[in-house]
Chains A and B, each alone.
Chain A
C-alpha cells in the first residue's frame, strides 16, 4: 500500500496487511480473540460454579456416579449411575489430540507447506466432529435412560454446561472447516496464516475449557 501521507493508524480489521503497525505490535484481531477468551472464562466459570453449587442437590435420579431412584417408563425405579466414562475419555483424548493437529496445520500454513496444512487441518476438523458426535450420542443415550433437560438439577446443570461447550466446539468446527476449504483452494498463503492462527487460538481455548470440565464433571465424585 502506498500512502501519500502516513495514515495515522490504518485499520487492521479483516485486513490481510498484518504488517500494519499497531501500538503493541500484535495484530488487532489477535488481541480481540484474547479479549474474547478473557470474557469467556467468566462465562464458563459461572456455568461450572453453578454445576458445583448444585452438586448433590438433585431431588430425584438419575445421578452421575451413583445408583438412585428415578422415573423411567412412567414409574419410579432404581437406576444405575449414568456416566459412560470410557466413551467420554475417548472423546476427550481425541479433542486433546486435535489441539496438537492444529499446531501442525498452523506450522504448515506459516511455512507454505500446503499438503501439511490441508492434511492436519482436515484431521483437526474430523477430530472436532468426532467430539461433537460423541456428545450427541451421549446426550441421546442419557435421554433414553430417562434423563431429560429438566429431570433434576444435575441434568439441567450438566446439559447447560456441556451443551454450551459443545456449541463452542461446533462453532470451531464450522470455522475450521471454512478455513479448510480455503486452504484446499490455496487461499491461505503464509502471509495469511494469521487467519488460521486466530482460529487455532480459539480452538485451544475450547480445548482448555474441556480440560477443566472433564475432571470436574466426570471424574470428581
Chain B
C-alpha cells in the first residue's frame, strides 16, 4: 500500500472513550457498532418470543401461555425481527462498510446518521415498553384493519404498534437519504458506479426501496391513527371506508420491504463468495441489474399477499405473473453465485459456510415462493404454516444466514480480532440443522391445514409429531446463538491482533488497519476495478505489507454533537404523545413539549458548525 509522509508523525486523533463520547458520536463506525449491538439485543428478544411460542406449541392443548399472550408474542416476534432485528442489523453493515467500501471519510451527513440511530433506539424501546404495561401489540405484524380499529383492539396495544412503527419509519427515512447521498456523492476517485462492491450496489438499491416504500406505510399508519384517535373512518365500513385499502397500502410498502430485508444479505454473500473462492464475482453487471430488476418488480407484486380478498381474475393473473417473473432475476443471482464458486480455490472458513448456507436455504424459500405465486395454490396455503415456512426460509435462511456470514467476515475488521473458527463452524452446523428441523416440517403442517397464529391445537388433529420436532429444532437454533455469543465474548477478551487483511479481501476496507482509524483512510488506494485491493496485491507480487497506523494530521473530523439525540427525543415526544389522547384531555401538552424539544434540537443542530473551528 502507498505510504504517506505522515506515517511516523504523532497521532493527532486520540481515541475518545466514555459514555458521553458514544452519545455524541458522529463517527459512522461507532454508530454502526451501536446499531449492531442494539439490533442484536432486540434480535435476541424476538428469538426468546419465538422460543416461548415453540414451547407452547410443543404439545396439544398446552397451557403455558394464554391465547392473549400468544397474540402479543407472534405480533412482537414479527415486528421485532423485521424492524428491530434484520433492518438495523443491515444498517450496522451499511454504516460501517459503505463509507469504507467507497473510500469515503464518513457518510454524507454524520449528524443525521446519529439522529437515525437515536430515533431507532427510542422507537424500539417505545414499542417494547408496552410489555411493562401489559399492553404489547397483539394484532399481527401486518396490522390488518379493521381488526386494528378501536372496536376490536381497544387499549393501547395497537397504539404502541402504530406509533412505534411511525417513529422507526423516521429513522429509516433519515438513514436512507443519508446512504443514498453518500453512495452517489462520496465515492473515491476511480470508484465508478460499476466498480462499486456488490454490497454497496445492493445497499444502494435497498435505500431506493426504503425511500419509495416507507412514505406509503407512513400514510397508512396516519390513517389508522386518525381512525383510532380522531374519529375518521378510513378503514371502517360503517363510515363508508374500506378495510382492504389498508391491505393495499400496507403491502405496497410490505412487499418492497421484504427486498429491503434480503438485498443487503445478497450483497454480503456477493462479497464473501468471491473472496473465499479466490476469483472475482461471476457476472458482476448481471448481478447489478438483476438486483435492480428485483427491486423494480417488487413494486408491482403487492397484491399476491391479498389473493384471498377476492380481487377477480384480472388482478389475480397480473399479480401471479409479475410475482413469478421475480424468479428470473433471482435465478440469475443464484446461478452467478454458483458460477463464482465453480472452479474457485475454495477456502472453507466460517463466512463461506454461512454464505453457501444462505444460497441453499434461500433457494428452498424461493421455490415455495413461486408455489404460492399461483392463486389457486395460494388459496390453500394462505394463513397456514406453509406460508410461515416460506418466509422463514427467505428471512432466516436468507437474511439471517447472510448477515451472519457478514458478521464472521467483517468481525476482524470491526474489532481487530478473529472469531474462533471451530466455534464458528459449530455455530453454523447447529444453526443449519436447527433451522431446518424448525421450519421444514412447517411445510407439511401447513399443507395439512394447521393455521398460523393459533395458540394451541387439539390432540385429535395429529399435529403433535412435527410440532415436537420443530420445538426441539428451535431450541437447537437458540443454542447455536448462545455459542455465537460465547464466541464473541471469548474473542473480545483476547488482544486485538488481527491483521488488516485476514481473508485476502478484494475491497478497500482491507487496505487499512483493523480496526480502522477514526478518519478511515490516510490515503485512498487507487481504484481501477471492482477489486482494488487484489489489484494492489497483484502489482506487489502477491504480498501486501501490513498497513501502518498514520497520524491523520490535517484531516478534519466533524465534531461530536448532542443535538441529534436531543432531536430524537423530540420526535419520540411528538409521536408518542398520541398514546395519551384517550387517557387525559390535555394530552397535547406532551405533543407541544416534544415539538419544543424537536424545534430546539433542530435549531441548535442547524446553527452548530459541523467542524471544530481552526
In the complex, per-residue mask of A172-192: 1 if CB is within 8 Å of any chain B CB, else 0: 000000100000000000000
- Chain A residues with CB under 8 Å of B584's CB are none
Contact check, B610 vs A13: say whether CB atoms are below 8 A apart.
Answer: yes
Contact check, B558 vs A57: say whether CB atoms are below 8 A apart.
Answer: no
Alpha-carbon distance A35/B177, docked complex (angstroms): 6
In the complex, per-residue mask of A32-70: 1 if CB is within 8 Å of any chain B CB, else 0: 100110111011001100100110011100000000000
- Chain A residues with CB under 8 Å of B603's CB are 178
Contact check, A13 vs B110: say whether CB atoms are below 8 A apart.
Answer: yes
Binds B, one of A1-9, A80-88, A90-98, A131-139: A1-9
Contact check, B181 vs A32: say whether CB atoms are below 8 A apart.
Answer: yes
In the complex, per-residue mask of A7-30: 1 if CB is within 8 Å of any chain B CB, else 0: 111111111000000111010100
Decide yes or no whether A209 CB sits under 8 A from chain B: no
- Chain A residues with CB under 8 Å of B242's CB are 53
Binds B, one of A99-107, A118-126, A149-157: A149-157
Decide yes or no whether A31 CB sits under 8 A from chain B: yes
Alpha-carbon distance A148/B503, docked complex (angstroms): 65
Contact check, A59 vs B556: say whether CB atoms are below 8 A apart.
Answer: no
- Given contacts A54-B240, A153-B239, whether A7 and B177 have CB atoms under 8 Å apart is no
Please give the distance in Å from B599's CB to the nearest CB on chain A: 9
Please give the distance in Å from A1's CB to the nearest CB on chain B: 7
Contact check, B611 vs A15: say whether CB atoms are below 8 A apart.
Answer: yes
Alpha-carbon distance A200/B598, docked complex (angstroms): 23
Decide yes or no whether B600 CB sits under 8 A from chain A: no
- Chain A residues with CB under 8 Å of B610's CB are 11, 13-15
- Chain B residues with CB under 8 Å of A23's CB are 184-187, 191
In the complex, per-residue mask of B553-564: 1 if CB is within 8 Å of any chain A CB, else 0: 111101000000
Contact check, A36 vs B234: say whether CB atoms are below 8 A apart.
Answer: no
Contact check, A8 vs B211: say whether CB atoms are below 8 A apart.
Answer: no
Please give the distance in Å from A200's CB to the nearest CB on chain B: 17
Q: Which B-chain residue is minimally distant from A195 (CB atoms)?
A: B606
Contact check, A43 vs B105: say whether CB atoms are below 8 A apart.
Answer: no
In the complex, per-residue mask of B502-530: 1 if CB is within 8 Å of any chain A CB, else 0: 00000000000000000111111000000
Please give the distance in Å from B491's CB to the nearest CB on chain A: 30
- Chain A residues with CB under 8 Å of B234's CB are 50, 153, 156-157
Contact check, B245 vs A50: say whether CB atoms are below 8 A apart.
Answer: yes
Q: Which A-chain residue is minimally distant from B605 (CB atoms)?
A: A14
Please give the distance in Å from B228's CB to the nearest CB on chain A: 11
Which of the listed residues B106, B181, B184, B232 has the most CB atoms from chain A within 10 Å of its own CB? B181
Decide yes or no whether B233 CB sits under 8 A from chain A: yes
Decide yes or no whether B222 CB sits under 8 A from chain A: yes
Q: Which B-chain residue is minimally distant from A8 (CB atoms)?
A: B524
Decide yes or no whether B230 CB sits under 8 A from chain A: yes
Contact check, A57 vs B609: say whether CB atoms are below 8 A apart.
Answer: no
Alpha-carbon distance A160/B225, docked complex (angstroms): 12
Across the interface, B554 reaches (CB within 8 A) one of A3, A13, A38, A153, namely A3
Alpha-carbon distance A159/B212, docked complex (angstroms): 23
Q: Which A-chain residue is minimally distant from B111 (CB atoms)?
A: A13
Q: Which A-chain residue is minimally distant from B555 (CB atoms)?
A: A7
Please give the distance in Å from A86's CB to the nearest CB on chain B: 28
Contact check, A150 vs B523: say whether CB atoms are below 8 A apart.
Answer: no
- Chain B residues with CB under 8 Å of A46's CB are 215-216, 219-220, 249, 252
- Chain A residues with CB under 8 Å of B173's CB are 39
Interface residues of B in 154-191 (CB under 8 A from A): 173, 176-178, 180-181, 184-188, 191
Q: Which A-chain residue is minimally distant from B99 (CB atoms)?
A: A9
Alpha-carbon distance A22/B105, docked complex (angstroms): 12
- Chain A residues with CB under 8 Å of B176's CB are 35, 39
Decide yes or no whether B103 CB sits under 8 A from chain A: yes
For chain B, the count of residues having a C-beta within 8 Å of the partner chain is 64
- Given contacts A150-B233, A156-B232, whether A9 and B216 have CB atoms under 8 Å apart is no
In the complex, per-residue mask of B578-614: 1 if CB is within 8 Å of any chain A CB, else 0: 0000000000000000000000000100100111000
Contact check, A28 vs B109: say whether CB atoms are below 8 A apart.
Answer: yes
Please give the distance in Å from A164's CB to the nearest CB on chain B: 8
Contact check, A35 vs B211: say whether CB atoms are below 8 A apart.
Answer: yes
In the complex, per-residue mask of B193-223: 1 if CB is within 8 Å of any chain A CB, else 0: 0000000000000000001111110111011
Alpha-carbon distance A212/B450, docked complex (angstroms): 49
Alpha-carbon distance A52/B222, docked complex (angstroms): 17
In the complex, per-residue mask of B238-257: 1 if CB is within 8 Å of any chain A CB, else 0: 01111001000100100000
In the complex, per-residue mask of B417-435: 1 if CB is within 8 Å of any chain A CB, else 0: 0000000000000000000
Alpha-carbon distance A26/B226, docked complex (angstroms): 40
- Chain B residues with CB under 8 Å of A35's CB are 176-177, 180-181, 211
Alpha-carbon distance A93/B233, docked complex (angstroms): 33
- Chain B residues with CB under 8 Å of A39's CB are 173, 176-177, 211-212, 214-215
Alpha-carbon distance A9/B556, docked complex (angstroms): 10
Contact check, A12 vs B108: say whether CB atoms are below 8 A apart.
Answer: yes
Contact check, A5 vs B245: say whether CB atoms are below 8 A apart.
Answer: no
Alpha-carbon distance A11/B609, docked complex (angstroms): 12
Q: Which A-chain residue is minimally distant from B192 (CB atoms)?
A: A23
Contact check, A7 vs B240: say whether CB atoms are below 8 A apart.
Answer: no
- Chain A residues with CB under 8 Å of B606's CB are 14, 178
- Given contacts A35-B181, A50-B219, A150-B232, whether A9 and B188 have CB atoms under 8 Å apart is yes
Contact check, B523 vs A149: say whether CB atoms are below 8 A apart.
Answer: no
Alpha-carbon distance A10/B610, docked complex (angstroms): 12
Which of the listed residues B180, B191, B214 has the most CB atoms from chain A within 10 Å of its own CB? B180
- Given contacts A7-B105, A28-B186, whether A149 and B556 have CB atoms under 8 Å apart is no
Please give the distance in Å from B236's CB to the nearest CB on chain A: 10
Alpha-carbon distance A28/B554, docked complex (angstroms): 22
- Chain A residues with CB under 8 Å of B105's CB are 7-11
- Chain A residues with CB under 8 Å of B239's CB are 59, 150, 152-153
Contact check, B110 vs A11: say whether CB atoms are below 8 A apart.
Answer: yes
- Chain A residues with CB under 8 Å of B611's CB are 11, 15
Please give the distance in Å from B400's CB to the nearest CB on chain A: 28
- Chain A residues with CB under 8 Å of B213's CB are 42
Contact check, B177 vs A36: say whether CB atoms are below 8 A apart.
Answer: yes
- Given contacts A32-B177, A46-B215, whether A13 and B108 have CB atoms under 8 Å apart is yes
Alpha-carbon distance A35/B106, docked complex (angstroms): 19
**10 cross-chain CB contacts under 8 A:** A3-B554, A12-B185, A28-B108, A31-B185, A35-B180, A43-B218, A46-B216, A54-B241, A149-B231, A156-B234
**A9-B187, A14-B111 known; 5 other A-B pairs, CB under 8 Å?**
A12-B108, A28-B185, A32-B181, A35-B211, A150-B231
Residue ranges of A at the interface with B (Cβ–Cβ < 8 Å): 1-5, 7-15, 22-24, 26, 28, 31-32, 35-36, 38-40, 42-43, 46-47, 50, 53-54, 57-59, 148-150, 152-153, 156-157, 160, 178
Top 5 A-B residue pairs of the complex, sorted by shortest distance between their CB atoms: A150-B231, A4-B554, A43-B215, A156-B232, A46-B219
